[in-house]
Chains A and B, each alone.
Chain A
Amino acid sequence: MADAVTELFSAPLTFNWTLSFRCNFSCSHCYSRDEQAEELPTADILRIIDILAEKQVPFINFGGGEPLIRDDLFEIADYATGKGLNVSMNSNGWLVDTAAANRLRACGFKSVGISIDSAEAALHDDFRNMPGSFDRAVAALDHLRRAGVRTTMSSVISRINYRNFRDLLDLARAHGVAQVYLHNFKCSGRGLKNREDLDLSPEEWKAFYVEALQVKQETTDLLISFDDPVISSLPGYDEKSLVSGSSCGKLSLHMRPNGDITPCGFIPLVVGNILKDDFDTLWYDSPILKKMRNKEASGKCMDCGAFEKCLGGCTARAFAVTGEFNQPDPHCWK
């Protein structure tokens, strides 16, 4: 079941780019904290940007690892924006002081997302295993706003915050945040190891999303995003995604620090390397991407009327738990 859009595209719209797996934090849910990969020198990274510009990939989002761990982040972003790419990033905020915020503005970041997982400072600090991280993250939002950078807030929904997500929205409002991403929990990396402590049951996910979708419908002063295909059959879901099911491998790809491409950051299957392989061949002919773009119902999805919309939900979660793309999303309540 391939989307017409996927057939049309000559490249993804977004590259989620992990420049480094290094991080100054050690979070309980991190998908990449235990990953290792050789990091590319600046010159190679600029060569990759040339490739992305040539392929007309419009958006780059730097993640990690902590992007600001790399001293050359500003140079890289400056080069990318000079090539006409739209650059954003996700950060834990620790290294975003006034000077850094001004530099991020100067090198053309369209937006910067700060991760905050609880409106309670102690809970956030504990989850992130970093005392003082809540205060630094909130301060980062303020530094960025004063520098004129659009801010977003990323909150991974888990057992520590799903009952109090409204407090996160209030926190965002208080600090001039434009958009809040209530990310679905991924059972990858440490997220898989700590799944029993952090993940919700399928019924709890449903209850959370029903409530959160209602709040989203009632909210006019803040953009709220979920990006979770498992919710596409719920009442109140009106997001007009360009594709059904997971967008990974269709609208977006992920790049590891050594240039290896994976469908998304949570699926550790390497499609190829952007510096060593022909990009068009990877994009059009990769067996992994083809499989992600042509999911087939299996298990309980076979008799489910929602499959056409959700295509089995999050492929990364299904793969992490079962080793199969086509298995139902373990978060699915149906």
Chain B
Amino acid sequence: MASSFDPETLGGKITQGRNRLLKKLLRNPDIVWRVEKRREAEIVKALEAGEDVSDKGSVILIISGMMHQLNLVGGKIWSLCDGQRSLGDLIEALAVEFEVERDELAEDVEGFVDDLLQRGWLKHG
């Protein structure tokens, strides 16, 4: 019924150069989604306490009557894909918010975005 996406397990390598980093990313407008704010606050608190929160969903997507959940990082990425930001912008924004080694972050974000593009949940704006 529900599934979580863990950017840490979704690999991918930046292989298509700079242009790919500059393309704007846009959520599929047919997908209904919502940030579950109370849950998000609980997860942030757990993260600050040093807990592993990678399998805890804070953003829900309703797609063809099915619900999917995104974890904290996946939800941040999803929320940022408003048609105004590129992959490079996402990496910049997340680098400020999460203390992760830059190359590792870029690889994970690209892998996650690729997966969502393949599913048709994101598109290039």
Contacts and interface: CB of A to CB of B under 8 A. Distances in A.
Given A5-B2, A242-B67, A58 B62 contact: yes
Interface string A273-308: 000000010001000000000000000000000000
Contact of A8 (B32, B33, B39, B62): B39
Interface in A242-282: 242, 280
Contacts of A59: 32
Given A8-B57, A10-B37, A13-B62, A86 B1 contact: no
Given A9-B36, A58-B34, A240 B62 contact: no
B65 interface: yes
Interface residues of B, number: 17
A236 to B, nearest CB: 17
Interface residues of A, number: 15
A56 interface: yes
The majority secondary structure among interface residues of chain B is: strand
B26 to A, nearest CB: 15
Contacts of A4: 2
B49 interface: no
B60 interface: yes
B66 A240 contact: yes
Which of A5, A8, A9, A284 has the largest number of chain B CB atoms within 10 A? A8
Interface string B55-88: 0010010100111010000000000000000000
A284 B42 CA distance: 15
A11 B35 CA distance: 11
B119 interface: no
A86 B32 contact: yes
Nearest to B34: A56
Contact of B36 (A10, A240, A242, A280): A10
A8 B65 CA distance: 17
A74 to B, nearest CB: 23
24 contacts: A4-B2, A5-B1, A5-B2, A5-B67, A8-B36, A8-B39, A8-B57, A9-B36, A9-B60, A10-B36, A11-B34, A13-B32, A13-B62, A58-B32, A58-B33, A58-B34, A59-B32, A240-B1, A240-B65, A240-B66, A242-B1, A242-B67, A280-B38, A284-B38
